[in-house]
Amino acid sequence: MENNLTVYNTLSRRKEKFEPMNPPFVGMYVCGPTVYGDAHLGHARPAITFDLVYRYLKHIGYKVRYVRNITDVGHLEHDADSGEDKIGKKARLEQLEPMEVVQYFTDRYHQNMSALNVLSPSIEPKASGHIIEQIEMIRKILEAGFAYEVNGSVYFDVVKYNQNHNYGILSGRVLEDLMTATRELEGQEEKHNPADFALWKKAQPEHIMRWPSPWSDGFPGWHLECSAMGTRYLGEQFDIHGGGMDLLFPHHESEIAQSVAANSKAPVKYWLHNNMITLNGQKMGKSLGNAISLFDFFAGNHNLLQQPYSPITIRFFILQAHYRSTLDFSNEALQAADKGLKKLMAALATLDKLAVSEKSTSNITELRKKCYDAMNDDFNSPIAIAQLFEGVRIINSVKNKKETITDTDLEILKKTMIDFVFEILGLKQEEAGRSNELIDELMGTILILRQKARESKDFATSDLIRDHLAKLNIIVKDTKEGVEWSLEE
């Protein structure tokens, strides 16, 4: 297995050669959704980014164990340690058991992921299913002296930790600055320092999600689940931890502190962060009220959307930007992605029909190498896609007899296009689209024949067509703009 892969490590702030600790095995953990609402475009980006990483690592021969969690407890409203549990609140408002809320939105998240052709992770653990592991980890942190208990809650002692370790190693934040930041949020008064964070919170009487623990009936802090589940399924040290840049601080910074405190080891070798999707330059997020759900994208169901966009168009749109760049949403960009995707698929469909020649006019081996070079350079999908469009150009030129290709080169081109488009980028020909296109085309032919029959006053034929279409519930209308047809439901 040749491996020239380099990845940008947030920890070192530079690209590093990718050398997993125990090849050919790779352990990868990615922060998944907090399931109290529908996923929006912002959620699609980490899912697709790390799906690309997962697919590419497998493609170049690694055996990847990919863990992506579901947060179903402990994520409080203010992302700090105060306010109501996000899922508990939704459950209270809708008069449901919290796990009904979790199930509902987890199912819908899975529907979205499947539509986006995002592969299932190897393991998808839920925070509420790993309370024991979290309690054990808190016990270890307490024993190591990096946490303290107040009134049944346990907090991580950031100041003490920072004496011998670096709280800020990942985010570059400086503890002094964090200490002076004023915080007036409820529940903060138990902390020794404002930078401390909860490992275990005692549940208020009205709090529904609660478990017994050595300290109180309560629930784990939000940062803890990822440390506990990462350790449980990937070991105390693993290769890759991914997530959105918005999770870098305090979530990932705190994960490192927890693992170092509990296991005396840095948990992760490579930290990878995808950048954000913006809307007119503004961050998109449920709490900001400007997030369009994926279901709305697929249905074209939002006043900012000029049309529906298919899941694979959205996927292609996201892959057309490097994961560390910001990506701004616009109808124009999505429409361009849709057009590009159709062009790519159309070229792929003609690959099997190209004539071969004695000589190739393009360097196909070089093209293939450039595709891999792009992906090996920190998963640079836009550069790889540009190369694939060079492939599209060659395919169309050969088809139009403007270029030639040898038998061997055609095989290489085919393999490159198919490997990258389907296996690595995870694009696909959308089935419904395909059938619908065929139906459109066949109807086009029939309407031309209808027109011809009318012009030549061949009423037997035009009546035959009318009757056949009526039987199929197809309504044909002659309008000023031409003939329109529709399928009555």
Other CB atoms within 10 A of residue 46 CB: 26
Binding of a second copy at residue 99 (CB under 8 A)? Answer: yes
Write the binding mask 402 to 441 for a second copy: x where contact by CB under 8 A, - elsewhere.
-----------------------------xx--xx-xx-x
Amino acid (1-letter code) at residue 96:
L
Rounded least distance, CB 399 to a second copy, Å: 13
Q: Identify whether the C-beta of residue 28 lies closer than 8 Å to the C-beta of residue 65.
A: yes
Phi, psi of 380 (to 5 degrees): -80, 80
**Taking contact as CB under 8 A, which single stretch among the options 118-126, 171-179, 188-196, 371-379 is the one that binds a second copy?**
118-126
Binding of a second copy at residue 487 (CB under 8 A)? Answer: yes
- DSSP-assigned letters across all residues of 84-142: -BHHHHHHHHHT--HHHHHHHHHHHHHHHHHHTTPPPPSB--BGGGGHHHHHHHHHHHH
The C-alpha atoms of residue 348 and residue 360 are separated, in whole angstroms, by: 19
Binding of a second copy at residue 100 (CB under 8 A)? Answer: yes
Binding of a second copy at residue 208 (CB under 8 A)? Answer: no
Binding of a second copy at residue 355 (CB under 8 A)? Answer: no
Nearest Cα neighbor of 30 from 317, 234, 285 is 234
The C-alpha atoms of residue 236 and residue 42 are separated, in whole angstroms, by: 30
Among 19, 94, 97, 143, binds a second copy (CB under 8 A): 97
Pick the closer one to a second copy by CB: 278 or 396.
396
The C-alpha atoms of residue 20 and residue 230 are separated, in whole angstroms, by: 16
Among 110, 173, 342, 393, binds a second copy (CB under 8 A): 110
**Taking contact as CB under 8 A, which single stretch among the options 96-104, 259-267, 271-279, 320-328 is the one that binds a second copy?**
96-104
Binding of a second copy at residue 55 (CB under 8 A)? Answer: no
Binding of a second copy at residue 351 (CB under 8 A)? Answer: no
Classify the C-alpha dihedral 34-40-46-47 as positive or negative: positive
146-159 as b/e: b if 16+ CB within 10 A: bbbbeebbbbbbbe
Pick the closer one to a second copy by CB: 82 or 103.
103
Characterise 280 by phi-psi region: left (phi > 0), alpha (psi -120 to 50), beta (else): left
**Taking contact as CB under 8 A, which single stretch among the options 120-128, 154-162, 253-261, 365-373 is the one that binds a second copy?**
120-128
Binding of a second copy at residue 299 (CB under 8 A)? Answer: no
Pairing state between β 218-220 and 197-202: antiparallel
The C-alpha atoms of residue 106 and residue 36 are separated, in whole angstroms, by: 9
Rounded least distance, CB 81 to a second copy, Å: 22
**Taking contact as CB under 8 A, which single stretch among the options 124-132, 182-190, 196-204, 267-275 is the one that binds a second copy?**
124-132
Amino acid (1-letter code) at residue 275:
N
Tokens of 327: 């990506």
Give the interface size with a second copy as a residue count (CB under 8 A).
50
The C-alpha atoms of residue 339 and residue 403 are separated, in whole angstroms, by: 24
Pick the closer one to a second copy by CB: 124 or 390.
124
Nearest Cα neighbor of 73 from 218, 216, 259, 271 is 218
Binding of a second copy at residue 472 (CB under 8 A)? Answer: yes
Binding of a second copy at residue 136 (CB under 8 A)? Answer: yes
Write the binding mask 448 to 467 for a second copy: x where contact by CB under 8 A, - elsewhere.
xx--x--------x--xx--
Among 33, 37, 121, 168, binds a second copy (CB under 8 A): 121
Binding of a second copy at residue 21 (CB under 8 A)? Answer: no
Binding of a second copy at residue 129 (CB under 8 A)? Answer: yes
Residues making contact with a second copy (CB under 8 A) = 65, 97, 99-100, 102-104, 107, 110, 120-126, 128-132, 136, 211-212, 233, 349, 431-432, 435-436, 438-439, 441-446, 448-449, 452, 461, 464-465, 468-469, 471-473, 487
